[in-house]
Chain A
């Protein structure tokens, strides 16, 4: 079996920890990670619970392939009720923490209650205990990781922690592991902070054993690795340019949301692109990109490690940011850059480092800055209110706002609420580019219609990683579809959503899907786990997970009205590019989407759908 068959339950209120057997009946229905942890969550909490109250729970979950020889098998997810959205939250991260947790012998850790004082969880194989974290409170994720490793005198410990954003209740705080990998979206870090849980530190030496058919597993993982290596995208494109190669593509297609989605093309896109990260700066002769980087077990290695010019105005007096660290991925470069019209690559790189350092989701943060810049441009917000002049394009404003938000001072406290709450407070809720109060990422639904449906129906609020139809609509994977039309998109979105649910529950990375399909994942899972994991079973698993999440959201109070896009995308046409004159066709797609999902016109799963899926 790929499962460790053991979960750790941590009661932060009483300070107790205990081991429980994994519910293997549920594992057969929900596999692991996203699916299985969501099952535990929906069984154990009231959907209407205040996300930041002790009654909410937070689960760190691995998948059956986490910690194994499967390529990219290092993933873990954090599942909880999200404070930014009030919806189900599931944030997935790479790095090495997930594999270490699995190799310590745990499938997942369930946190419940709230600690009276700051604590961190220390796990050494099958021994776990809560320890005082008073000395870590107020520290960044970088400092926290270093302090924990040095106090335990073990550099091989893996740490997942919150920074000051999580402590300060930034509603889109993330959880950072391995310095710059993030369980990024929906504010899982704020939940951790509300529980006074500063970090989880793990050292695992047990390893992952009990693979169902070891020979078949090695053959399946070897074959799947070859598929990744032979594929031009996963074998060459992603390692060399990372996700940032998309900046110029999406801009050329007129689908790059710019200046809070006032525009769909950014004149500065080239300057903040993957290509720009590769070229030597005129100032110091060095490139922004130092090297690529791989998470545990990954044979793609799309990660970016960057270094800024030490003489750049943003860091010239701050050596902390002179070293190489996690660099810009496409989403962060877009949010910190195009969303606010900022084209200073080094400034964006530093802002991204700050987001890693203090644990903030750069997508929601950057998009919120874009909304603030629009409010400033309109004269609704002033320099005195914000604490800095904040016109579109100001890199200085971006960095100052990043600092004040991470530190929770001044106007930064309002920034920490996200754009939905902030724009509503100042009388312009229409300026929030959100679905279910979560900011949408780097693809404009006017230029890529399927992504509009993706955002509107995403169970965790606007998100690209729940059904990445960009693969089809832009890149032709697995087949090319026209990004400017709505026809066929409901079925396409459903297929992507269901397949993604299976990958997110396996322990592997969704980026494998640029080369793999479920037909590549199934043999690996089947060799690792009992249960006869076929393509059909995995597709059904994804559909089951999607409907389970939907039911949670409905019970939490969401309705079909929440499956919608910001009015700007429905009424203000794209001004330039291929989508010029187009708005999102979301209203046409939603009814058909409900139909293909087996939901009624109110977006509620039909009885037959639930029965078919065993829900």
Chain B
């Protein structure tokens, strides 16, 4: 199935070169792929994955191991950041 993976700020460096200008890449993943599976596929340091959203909704740290991605969903990840 196809999902979209997005990584921002310092985590942009872990994206393929072709995705650096969009911060997004569409990927084919097997059924049952979890949030953490996809994060690890792109070798993002787990400790740097502070804000994790699926289709804009927050995924708490305790649910990231078990939350299975569904076809068409977008997983977006940020390191610790803030603004104002």
Chain A residues packing against B (C-beta within 8 Å)? 231-234, 236-238, 240-246, 248-249, 252-254, 270, 274-275, 279, 329-331, 464-465, 468, 470-471, 474-477, 480, 482-483, 510-511, 514, 577-578
| Inter-chain contact B9/A578, CB cutoff 8 Å | no
B84 at the interface (CB under 8 A from A): yes
Q: How far is A274 from B6 in the complex, measured between Cα atoms in Å?
A: 15
A510 vs B84: C-alpha distance when bound (angstroms): 9
Chain A residues with Cβ below 8 Å from B83 are 238, 242-246, 249, 330, 470
* CB contact between A275 and one of B9, B51, B55, B82 (< 8 Å): that residue: B9
Q: Which residues of A contact B53 (CB under 8 A)?
A: 252-253
Smallest CB separation, B9 vs chain A (Å): 5
Contacts of A464 in B (CB 8 A): 84
Given A240-B9, A254-B56, CB of A270 within 8 Å of CB of B23: yes
Distance between B7 CB and nearest chain A CB, rounded to angstroms = 10
Contact B82 A477 (CB under 8 A): yes
- A-B pairs with beta carbons under 8 Å apart, 27 shown: A231-B80, A233-B82, A236-B10, A240-B9, A243-B83, A243-B84, A244-B83, A245-B81, A245-B82, A245-B83, A246-B81, A249-B8, A252-B74, A253-B56, A275-B9, A275-B12, A279-B20, A330-B84, A331-B84, A470-B84, A475-B82, A476-B50, A476-B51, A480-B58, A482-B58, A511-B82, A514-B82
Q: Which of A237, A270, A483 contacts B80 (CB 8 A)?
A: A237
Closest CB of chain A to B70's CB: distance in Å? 15
Partner of B81, one of A252, A475, A510: A475
Partner of B51, one of A240, A249, A468: A249
* Chain A residues whose C-beta falls within 8 Å of the C-beta of B63 in the assembled complex: none
Asked whether B16 is an interface residue with its Cβ less than 8 Å from the other chain, the reply is no
The listed residue (A240, A279, A329, A470) touching B10 by CB distance below 8 A is: A240
Contact A237 B9 (CB under 8 A): yes
Residues of A near B21 (CB, < 8 A) are 279
B24 — nearest CB in chain A belongs to which residue? A270
A-contact 0/1 string along B51-71, CB 8 Å cutoff = 101011110100000000000
**Interface members, chain B 30-81 (any A CB < 8 Å):** 50-51, 53, 55-58, 60, 74, 76, 78-81
Across the interface, which residues of A come within 8 angstroms of B58, CB to CB? 480, 482-483
Q: Would you give the shortest CB distance from A104 to chain B, in whole angstroms?
A: 29
Given known A248-B23, A270-B22, A275-B12, contact A578–B84 (CB-CB < 8 A): no
Q: Beyond A236-B79, A511-B82: 10 further Cβ-contacts under 8 Å?
A: A232-B50, A237-B81, A238-B81, A248-B76, A253-B56, A275-B8, A275-B12, A477-B82, A483-B58, A578-B56
Q: In the complex, are the beta carbons of A274 and B84 less than 8 A apart?
A: no
Chain B residues lying within 8 Å of A240, measured Cβ to Cβ, are 9-10
Closest to B60 in A: A480
- Interface residues of A, dominant DSSP: helix
Residue of B nearest to A577 (CB): B56
User: Chain A residue with minimal CB distance to B56?
Assistant: A578
Q: Determine the chain B residues whose CB is within 8 A of the CB of A246 once the complex forms.
A: 81-84
Query: How many residues belonging to B are interface residues under a CB distance threshold of 8 Å?
Result: 26
* B55 contacts A578, C-beta separation under 8 Å: yes
A511 B84 Cβ-Cβ under 8 A:
yes
Contacts of A236 in B (CB 8 A): 10, 79-80
Q: Which residues of A contact B8 (CB under 8 A)?
A: 245, 248-249, 275
Which residue of the partner chain A has the closest CB to B76? A252
C-alpha gap A244/B9 in the complex (Å)? 10
Q: In the bound complex, do residue A249 and residue B78 qualify as a contact, i.e. CB atoms below 8 Å apart?
A: yes
How far apart are the CA atoms of A226 and B83 in the complex, in Å? 20
With a cutoff of 8 Å between Cβ atoms, the chain A residues found around residue B9 in the complex are: 237, 240-241, 245, 274-275
Top-4 shortest CB links A-B:
A246-B83, A243-B83, A232-B80, A237-B81
A275 vs B19: C-alpha distance when bound (angstroms)? 12
Q: Are B20 and A475 in contact (CB under 8 A)?
A: no
Chain A residues with Cβ under 8 A from B57's Cβ? 578
Q: Which residue of B lies closest to A231 (CB)?
A: B80
Closest chain-A Cβ to B55's Cβ sits at a distance in Å of: 7
Distance A146 CA – B49 CA, assembled complex (angstroms)? 46
In whole angstroms, what is the CA distance A425 to B50 when docked? 47
Min CB distance A326 to B, Å, is: 16
Q: Is the CB of A475 within 8 A of B51?
A: yes
Chain B: minimal CB distance from A615 (Å): 29
A470 to B58, CA, bound (A): 13
Q: How far does the Cβ of A268 sit from chain B's closest Cβ, in whole Å?
A: 12
State A303–B12 Cα separation when bound (angstroms): 21
CB distance from A15 to the nearest CB of B (A): 40
For the complex, give the distance between the alpha carbons of A468 and B83 in Å: 10
Nearest neighbor of B48 in chain A, beta-carbon distance: A232
A470-B81 Cα distance, complex, nearest whole Å? 12
| Chain A residue with Cβ nearest B81 | A237
What's the least CB distance linking A275 to chain B, in Å? Answer: 6
* A233 pairs with B81, CB closer than 8 A: yes
Contact of B82 among A248, A252, A254, A471 (CB under 8 A): A471
Contact of B56 among A252, A270, A279, A511 (CB under 8 A): A252
Residues on B with C-beta less than 8 A from A231 are 80
Contacts of A245 in B (CB 8 A): 8-9, 78, 81-83
Chain A residue nearest to B21 in the complex (CB): A279
CB-CB under 8 A from B55, the residues of chain A are 577-578
A475 vs B52: C-alpha distance when bound (angstroms): 10
Name which residue of chain B comes closest to A247, CB basis: B83
User: In the complex, A470 Cα to B84 Cα: how many Å?
Assistant: 8
Partner of B23, one of A275, A329, A465: A275
Contact, CB under 8 Å: B84 / A468:
yes
**CA A345 – CA B81 in complex, angstroms?**
21
Q: Which A-chain residue is minimally distant from B20 (CB atoms)? A: A279
Bitwise interface map of B from 1 to 18 toward A, beta carbon under 8 Å scored 1, else 0: 000001011101000000
Q: Are B80 and A233 in contact (CB under 8 A)?
A: yes
Say how far B73's CB is from chain A's closest CB, in angstroms. Answer: 12
B residues in contact with A482, CB < 8 Å? 58
Residues of A within 8 A of B6 (CB): 248, 252
Complex contacts, B22 vs chain A, CB 8 Å: 270
Measured between beta carbons, the chain A residues less than 8 angstroms from B51 are: 249, 474-476
